[in-house]
Chain A
Amino acid sequence: MRALRLLALVIIGGLIAVGVLADERDRTIDELAPPVIVTTPDARTGTWFCAGGSGAVGAATVGLELVNAGGDDAVVDVQVVRDDTADGQRTEVVVPAASRVPVNLPQLAPEATWLGAIVESNDADVVVEQTFDGLSGTDRAPCATATGSALYAADGATRLLAEGESMTLLLMNPFQDDAIADVRFDADVGPDSISAIVVPARRIVAIDVTEEVTVASRVHTTIDVTVGRLVANRLQVRNGTTVRGLAVTPLVQDGAVVSVVPVVETRLGLFDRLHVSNPSAESAEVDLEIVTDGGATLDPIELTVRAGRTVVVDVAAESRLAALPSFSVVARSLTGQPVAVAVERRAELGSDLVAGTAAMGALDAAATEWIVARDGNVSELSVVNPSSDGIANVELWRVSADGETFLTSIELGPGRRQVLDAPDIAERDLLRVRATAPVVVGRANAGFTSRQMLAGVIADGAVPLDQLD
């Protein structure tokens, strides 16, 4: 009996001890991972938020271009979002396979001063881009496929009388609940802010920055959305004696730890400036890695960006970059805070180049497949392999009513970029870029009177850049 008692006590005690020890082990409590949402336009989402521009008589009359890079006709639903209380018109558009259909938004809402659109399609081959046309030029940008709770406009100017510069922010709330945002301006003439701007549900609110921050040659804007989420466009008009152009740029959403500016140039007459904003409460150490086609290897530009401030890098002023006609930049926040990076281009009047202005935000994602709708008589397609160790074989295909046609391919080493070109690419071709590893695609267009810088649109295989390695 005694042995049995001892045995029972030992087993029971042992089991309790095992239980206690087992309970000490860390549990794998599955936290619901947030969905991978990148702010780089992604056609697979099927929902496009076009923060828009002005109506028929404004400085940047907005239109849409619906691009179907697929083999089947696509049905696209367009709902106009306006700045007044009138109901947004809705229209259904059938976009034939391998074609592009323009939508004249002001025609749908002639009375609207400012208007944008929510465009929906259940076809992952459909891309929606917004086009702008004004007295000072034209511009183009993909509509956003994500909304943000923090938005950054890296640059702007409001010297209306002296340089003909005016700046307008368009905040669009595509959701059913009102959003509230605080807007903070960091200008060379001093800071300013607007608190608690209400952006009603399904409405656009325009902020005339020229009125808020007068006579500033440089205005960095930060928008904190305290309730809801927004998309926004910055309309920058320059109508001065040296620079003239229209740049409508989607605001950078939320920032990123790693992002890529695919197109930067140092050609004579072009003035590219990189803007790095640190919206966090602590200083950020940011490296701007220069990505070339392999002909040169340069040390990164090392920046310390103080909390809430913006650092501007004038590429033309960096003499060591002068030898590089074009390159890309990978912005990497070494201290881990997301930073907002954008590039602005200016080509002054009187040079040999097409004058104008353009701007784009850095891309936060790479992908294995991109859709590019060519525009402009000069269009440069830049492909960046942001990986540190993988080679990407990149192919360029043309999409037409007859199907897809292979144009060219390149092998892109890790940390390299290259311009994709083929001899028989037409001005308005629809292109697909396919790669064996995630790459970043950007484009720089130049027409006869205007310049554009914009990203490609992801079609498949998106990977956030900070998760790439």
Chain B
Amino acid sequence: MADIPASDARPDAPSEPRAATPSVTAVVVAHDPGAWFEETLDSIVTQDYPRLELVVVDGTGEGDLGERVRAVAPDATLIDASDTDGFAAAANTVLETDVESAFLLVCHDDVALAPDAVRVLVTEALRSNAGVAGPKLVDWERPEILQHVGLSVDQFAVAADVIEPAERDQEQYDRVRDVFAVPSACVLVRTGLFAAIGGFDPGITRRGEDIDLCWRAQLAGARVLVVPDARVRHRSDLIGRTGVDDIRRTRARHQLRTVLVTGGRLRLLGTIPLLALLSLAEITIAAFTGRFGQVRDIVSAWTWNLSRLGEIRRRRAGLRPKITISPGDVRAAQASGSVRINAFVRGQIGRGDRAFGEELVTAMRTGTTRFSVLAWALVLGLIVFGSRALISDGVPAVGDFVAFPDSGGALIDTWWSSWRARDLGSVGSTPTGFGLLGVLGVLLGGSMGLVRTLWVLGPVVVGLIGAWRVLSVSGSRRAQIATLVAYAALPLPWAAIAGASWTTLGVYAVAPWVLRALLEAQASAPFRTTAGPVRGLVPAAVAAGVAVGLAGVFDPVVAVVTVLVAAGLVAGALVAVNPTGVVRLVAASAGAALVGALLTLPLSIELLANGLPWHPFADGRTGDASTEPLTDLLRFAIGPESAAPLTWAFAVPMAVPLLIGRAWRFDLAVRLWFVALTAWGVALTAVHGVVPFGLPEPGVLVAPAAIAVAALCGVCVSALEHDLRRAGFGWRQLLLPLAIGAAAIAVLPSIGAITDGRWGLGRGGYENVLPLADPTLDGSYRVVWIGHPDHLPAQGSPFVADMAWVATIDGLPDITERSIPADRGAHDQMEAVLDAILAGETSRAGRLLGGLGVRYVVAVERLAPAPFSDVDDARPLPDALAETLDTQLDLRRLAGVNSALRIYENTEWTSVRAAAVSSFDDGRTTLFDLQVAPITGTIGVLGGSDDRIEGPVPDGVELFVAQSVDRGWRLEIDGSEAARRRSFDWATTFVPAAGGGDAVLSYTTPRWRQLVVVVQLLALLGTVSLSVRRLVGGRR
């Protein structure tokens, strides 16, 4: 405190010859004030404090301020500070005068002090030895409403009020307290302290100067107090006066400036990266919610400060000698955590109003809200605990849970290209969802394992959020909780994880959102108020379409959920003799299909262009019967881990609304029952092989039933709340304990499933058990996978019985090869060969497959290799098929491989890209000609990514490329483009114009396809923005 006069440093020690009452100079900084200014001046002039001088600083030099001041306070001193910019610099001009008072009372020009305010402040400052003291600020017009009672500030200089928005003043805060900062609207500061720390930071024009001042004051050893007995009214309408809403921008800039000026070097090493991370998160969220102004403001905060680093360094240097206490002590006085995050959670960032935060705080005081939070915490906690091994060890690459590329960039590259390498190659879009996952991987610093885990577990959380919202219009928080808990407790998602079925998880995620949207479209109670439907037809259709579309960008199969839910709701409405909205429902479903098609644009166009093929939705199934009994479907026991019989207990809460429900509870229950029955019915027809075409897996089909069951549990609660009390004493009263008991029993299996931390999913995939050759040695090759669709590492094409096939390049597929494209290229060649094998028409499958670039045939008999899968869950290759494979003359079965597999190596394989003598295909016009005259004398050449392959090509050879013909491919050797011809009626052979050399085989994606993808991205961005806005906007 070297620069602080002793009298100020020890205010309790009176000094001669000064009077016992310290003098105070009130510094009112005026910026062209309005009509209220006289009242401000008058409130100061009429203070009961005896030694008070008034200085008015004219910050603008405009108007007749002098006259106005003289009219009220003739003795006041007027300082012209029109050459300054902002409140802080203007206030500092007082230091340029010969101010001799002990205290400065710095005020805005829009405050009105209670008559005793100065006296109370000074008295407390002297008594508590405070350097800075602030009054209780209340609303100008409604003085019973608190405005500020000191500020809490975090390490990022972000302030938060200790009071709640619009809180009434009931003297609840009337206690002198240490606070980190007090607003500059009215602040009493020791003159010596103010001078010693250089007053306000003149670089802070407005907003944040008070925090900066108080922070530096504390570093200089001063206390900061709020003295609530001093009462000051404050207009606080800066935006209205300036006409500029720059709150967010100026706050962001000045907060960062304060951190940079006041932070210690070591502390800044931790604070700055954290701040940068927070800014990044805020930018991301703001971008997704379409608040691009917010993005600009956050970015500009950094650029603004970076352009003033010299000034910041000077201020740091000037502050350093004044620091008398450890920055750690100051840090201890700050709010823990991040005020910004807390504010965001409370919805205060990016929102113009404070209703949500206020609502939340108010709601938290109610029991149901606390119960809701508890329920969510419990559900999410159990999910995290139950998934702990998946989170910590990663998700094994089995079934649908295919491996991801090593980097997000690789995922993006593959997605951007329209060449699909799977099967025999074809032109088609990789689902855009994987491109987005690639972007997420890049944003997460390349942590693709984390992205993959989120890809698997994320749908569960999305589904639960959707389930929470299904009955939000009912007004019963307990109903929402029941729906949430039931949806989480059903075995479906956990069985889907155990069975590595992402499609089922996708439908689990989407089904609640679609159900809610279609219920809104149907507009029956409770989705209709006296004022009309809670949501219009078009928004409801859009909502359903968006839900399907957003999941459809990962897997188009989820679209079936719309059909099932809509069909169930229509049937339910008809049975309930309440056909209201059926037409709306049908229209909404059609609208949802259109929106979904827009959001899945490249794929939807491809489906149309290929005559709406069914195979992308059949998941490799043929429509043959399977073995799942109805009881398994009803219990959602669709995975390798069979559900416990206790799941039947859900039947009780499902039945309750049917038995006692009235009004909309009964009506909604019937509709939900029919949604469930429809889903179960379709699943039953599928497993009985009634329909002549393949349907998605049973888990996908029963997922709409799952949300219907969960919602019925919610309706059960509503019925118990509303309808039970109307019933007289009787059997109905038994339903309450019965339902509670059944619910308790029903959730037990899911709780029990958390023990292994992986929901029964195997611990390892096939990546370590496949003895496949290194493609860099002999050239790239294909692997044909044959097995049950549930076990294949990608969506397959139907083969025979319950077997499907898929072909991949160089081993196990990654996520980009998971989905089956609408156009399957020359897949018919592969199917012809497989059919010939099956029919026993060839003993030279190797030669035929060799012509397709196939080196290995892998029959997958279990989801995961031994010992990570149970032999009881095996789907062995049919004996007849195994026998025909065993008796091929050129397939060699690799012995000693994992018992979950049969692997055959083709002894007559040809590389996918083979250099061959020019006569290699002479006289062989079709693939089947290879049976007697196989391809010989080839070597594998070129390597690289899917659509750009490079390497040297020997002299005097042709390049046989075993993939579907497409004009987008071209071969250049030393810059010279090679001619091409068709081989075996399906593949391409490039004929170099000159000799060998460095070759580049590349694929060029058509521009129109990329344009379509851009359109899709824009549609997705807009959709997500609108959706998040709507969610954050707080509509229920």
Contacts and interface: CB of A to CB of B under 8 A. Distances in A.
Nearest to A175: B889
A228 B886 contact: yes
A46 interface: yes
Nearest to B576: A8
Contacts of B666: 1, 4-5, 8
A75 B922 CA distance: 14
Interface stretch (B81-89, B530-538, B546-554, B925-933): B925-933
B928 A29 contact: no
Interface residues of A, number: 45
Interface string A209-241: 000000000000000000011000000000000
Given A29-B624, A34-B883, A47 B800 contact: no
Interface in B877-915: 878-881, 883-884, 886-893, 895, 907
A28 B689 contact: yes
B851 to A, nearest CB: 14
Nearest to B666: A5
B357 interface: no
B235 interface: no
A230 to B, nearest CB: 11
B857 to A, nearest CB: 12
Nearest to A44: B841
Contacts of A34: 879-880, 883
B801 A120 contact: no
Contact of A177 (B673, B844, B893): B893
Interface stretch (A15-23, A245-253, A391-399): A15-23
Contacts of A8: 575-576, 658, 666, 670, 673
Contact of B878 (A15, A20, A27, A31): A31
Contact of A176 (B629, B684, B841, B889): B889
B892 A201 contact: yes
A45 B677 contact: no
A30 B689 CA distance: 10
Nearest to A20: B630
Interface in B837-868: 838-844
A22 B688 contact: yes
Contact of A37 (B630, B840, B878): B840
B722 interface: no
Nearest to A34: B880
Contacts of B929: 122
Nearest to A7: B575
A35 B892 contact: no
B119 interface: no
A25 B895 CA distance: 41
B970 interface: no
Nearest to A46: B931
B677 A12 contact: yes
Contact of A32 (B658, B662, B674, B880): B880
A35 B575 contact: no
A163 interface: no
A174 interface: yes
B689 A27 contact: yes
B577 A176 contact: no
Given A45-B843, A122-B931, A12 B673 contact: yes
Contacts of B749: none
A175 B933 contact: no
Contacts of A122: 928-929, 931-932
A175 B888 contact: yes
Interface in A89-115: 92
Contacts of B933: 75, 77, 92
A176 B844 contact: no
Nearest to B894: A177
Contact of B625 (A29, A46, A176, A228): A29
Contacts of B673: 8, 12
Contacts of A292: none
Interface in B238-276: none
| Interface pairs A-B: 9 shortest CB-CB | A35-B840, A176-B892, A32-B878, A34-B880, A23-B630, A27-B625, A47-B843, A32-B801, A122-B932
Given A12-B674, A36-B840, A228-B886, 18 more contacts: A1-B662, A5-B658, A5-B666, A8-B658, A9-B658, A11-B575, A19-B630, A19-B677, A19-B684, A23-B631, A25-B688, A28-B625, A32-B801, A32-B880, A37-B840, A46-B842, A120-B843, A120-B931
Interface of B: 575-577, 624-627, 629-631, 658-659, 662, 666, 670, 673-674, 677, 680-681, 684, 687-689, 800-801, 803, 838-844, 878-881, 883-884, 886-893, 895, 907, 928-929, 931-933
